[in-house]
Structure 1
């Protein structure tokens, strides 16, 4: 369901855009924007649908998905808060873009956006960096699935999750991660099963690496231990940083 321009919350746009583009560009985008509330599991785009306007995901998560030859769903990419929507990095004829959670997208008039891209170098830079972040995320996901075992992928997700899911830092290397995606989505993203996800989290908790506060909140207790379980070195663990669109999604400290 789309809302009229008057229901666009400037504070959300400011959080995602205003620090990185010119004030007049922000104002022009704000005037052309309209908000779309997307319910979880709703289709945003699939092959054959009209090309959507370009926009920015302000809240929630979207997933690029397809069915493999075995009929199993594969999540081949995520769109996270702050990402540009409408420039389909993952475009394939057998793929769709759906809402993994309830989401809010602010769509902009494409003609206005394209004109601003030509006139504002700061917007061009943001657009480029955002597109490259999505490409890097695809590369990292491909590497993770191709090179790591399922339990190593889960450990890597816990290390990189703070860059695209809510994270409440409690010290330099400790904090609480909120798993914003459900178990099935996480399993399909990591090419494993929900049962493996649950079993691995329980094993990590038993080893003292994490604490499961509740089914969606994970307290990271031993980052070095997770790095070891992910079969990474401290240097290569930094590759997890490319999962972020621009910065961690910080929430208030506990």
Structure 2
């Protein structure tokens, strides 16, 4: 992991963790939590701080507890492309592999619940619950990558912005064990600049499309960067998807 992270004393028991029901530990039994409590540590990174570089040895793995990180790749000529976002409950690191294929950079202040990788790997070998959950998360990540390819390749600017809001709304609802519904609210952690990088748009286009969604009453922006969605089905319609997540053609 990159240097510079702030270490925090453990303040949250695993059973009380805000990502408890969606993280890699979501299927754990009591004995698993006892071991996780023993080996975990919290690290906090400031916005813009590098959490890990592509290809470097990564001795720690863990979960995003709060905040957002960006996955990006740097081309030989210095150009950078964002290839994904890590949201609360997402897993950072690759058990069984020396390092990562992409840079991991904090988009906001971010707190990670981290484990020594060798200890975690041994625990995975003893716990089918963690191994099964890692497989589930890997498949979810594959689905998200395919969705992202569609989003970048075929969707309009309006559909891209609406799709990102739909994704974040669904993830926040899942984290709180809710079903996405009319009137939901979720935090918009990333800046418009980060949204532009992620979606392959200019900042001006992002701002115009967000303003258009507001004028049409599809979203409302509140205090502390909260996004309120009066009618979730209408927002999904703007994303180019149907209510079941399929693409409208």
TM-score range, shorter chain: 0.7 to 0.9
Could you tell me how far apart the structure 2 residues matched to 1:183 and 1:14 are?
25
Match of 1:138 in 2: 145
Which stretch shows the higher mean deviation, 108-117 or 122-131? 108-117
Q: Is the 8 A contact 1:64 1:98 kept in 2?
A: yes
Equivalent residue runs for 1:57-206 within 5 Å: 57-67=64-74, 72-87=79-94, 91-92=100-101, 95-165=102-172, 172-206=181-215
Could you tell me how far apart the structure 1 residues matched to 2:198 and 2:19 are?
30
The CA RMSD over aligned residues, in Å, is 3.1
- Given candidates 34, 48, 54, the residue that maps to 2:41 is 34
2:240 corresponds to 1:227: no
SS at match of 1:81: coil
Could you tell me how far apart the structure 2 residues matched to 1:62 and 1:133 are?
17
SS at match of 2:59: coil
Structure 2, unaligned stretches of length 5 or more?
none
Pair 70,218 (structure 1): closer, same or farther in 2 beyond 3 Å: farther
2:10 corresponds to 1:7: yes
How high is the TM-score relative to the length of structure 2?
Answer: 0.81
Q: CA deviation at 1:124?
A: 0.9
How high is the TM-score relative to the length of structure 1?
Answer: 0.79
Which stretch shows the higher mean deviation, 138-147 or 51-60? 51-60
Q: Is the 8 A contact 1:8 1:106 kept in 2?
A: no
Q: Deviation above 6 Å: which 4+ runs of structure 1?
A: 166-171
Q: Is the 8 A contact 2:24 2:134 kept in 1?
A: no
Tell me the number of residue pairs that the alignment of Structure 1 and Structure 2 aligns: 236
